[in-house]
Amino acid sequence: MADEFGATSTTDEVLAGVTLAGKRVLVTGVSAGLGIETARALAAHGAYVVGAARDLQKAQAATAQVRADARQGGGGFELVELDLARLASVRACADALNARAEPFDLVIANAGVMATPFGHTADGFETQFGTNHLGHFVLVNRIAPLMRTGARLVNLASSGHRFSDVDLDDPNFEHTPYDPFVAYGRSKTANILFAVAFDQRHRARGVRATAVHPGGIQTELARHMDPAQLEAMVAQINQQRAANGEPPFAWKTIPQGAATSVWAGVVAPAEAIGGRYCENCHVGTIVPDDVTISAISEGVRAYALDPAHAEALWSRSEEMVGERF
């Protein structure tokens, strides 16, 4: 079953024949792109999806199809407010979910930002690390008691983790020159390491965690990038591919991009994906640091899956947010 799908598989293909009636799912970032499609696919197959978004008005308009498919497929959908760049909002969201005491079978930490200008969250963290990692770190750990036996956490990571390992001595670029893609790489490496540490802590009670790379998709995520810069990157990739006798790079569609999230969340064997990095609907392999890999080739760097490194990040994250989990 785990080998049936690949880079071009869509959410509906991955979920063909799967019934999610009675399952409850939390998906963050449902106002655009992958989050909308992830929520739609799961709700269409019978799941009750709680979608979290910073801008509820935008999310309400963006998720009309999610609600329609939920009604048709026997699922359900609702929105909750969550601003990952404000820990007060993160804690309020978690508190509200805990007060309802309704369990989750799957949590998909999908929301994120990429290559932003230098800035800080409301709590003073570098924008990408604070939003992509620390916001989810607090949210997921606070609602962890709601995750029932057999539940899974899926963290949206990226091949962008290969831009940089985390810097636990200078997470906010106070002493390091800021680079948008280095910062993005740090945050995506953190997403993977968080999954590794969370999986280690919760596997004994039957809860597993994994990180996924959705692939190259054109969504709002790239809104901070100069279009000319993006075109130049693709041109360089295609030049390399042509030299190797390979076809040109093709963007994934949004249903193809969201497929790995739902595959890892409900289709793949839990033991296969727990504490691992997944891409193109399969478990990724470690690529040694001395091996050059392109922006679109497969593979995960070893530093992103190192258990001791994951524990160090966990401790540093606790210090930064002022909570122990």
Express each pLDDT in 11-47 by its tens digit: 999 999 999 999 999 999 999 999 999 999 999 999 9
Q: Which pLDDT tens digit goes with each residue over 172-188?
A: 999 999 999 999 999 99
- Full domain range(s) for residue 87: 11-318
Nearest alpha carbon to residue 118 among 58, 56, 178: 178
CATH number at residue 186: 3.40.50.720
Looking at the domain assignment, is residue 171 inside a domain? yes
* CA distance between the termini of the chain: 35
Overall number of domains in the chain: 1
**pTM of structure:** 0.93
Looking at the domain assignment, is residue 6 inside a domain? no
Looking at the domain assignment, is residue 1 inside a domain? no
Cβ–Cβ < 8 Å for 158, 213: yes
Looking at the domain assignment, is residue 43 inside a domain? yes
Please identify which of the residues 48, 184, 277, 303 carries the catalytic annotation. Answer: 184
184 assigned to active site: yes
The pair of three-digit structure tokens given for residue 71, joined into one six-digit string:
């009604």
Looking at the domain assignment, is residue 3 inside a domain? no
Amino acid 1: pLDDT: 44
Looking at the domain assignment, is residue 197 inside a domain? yes
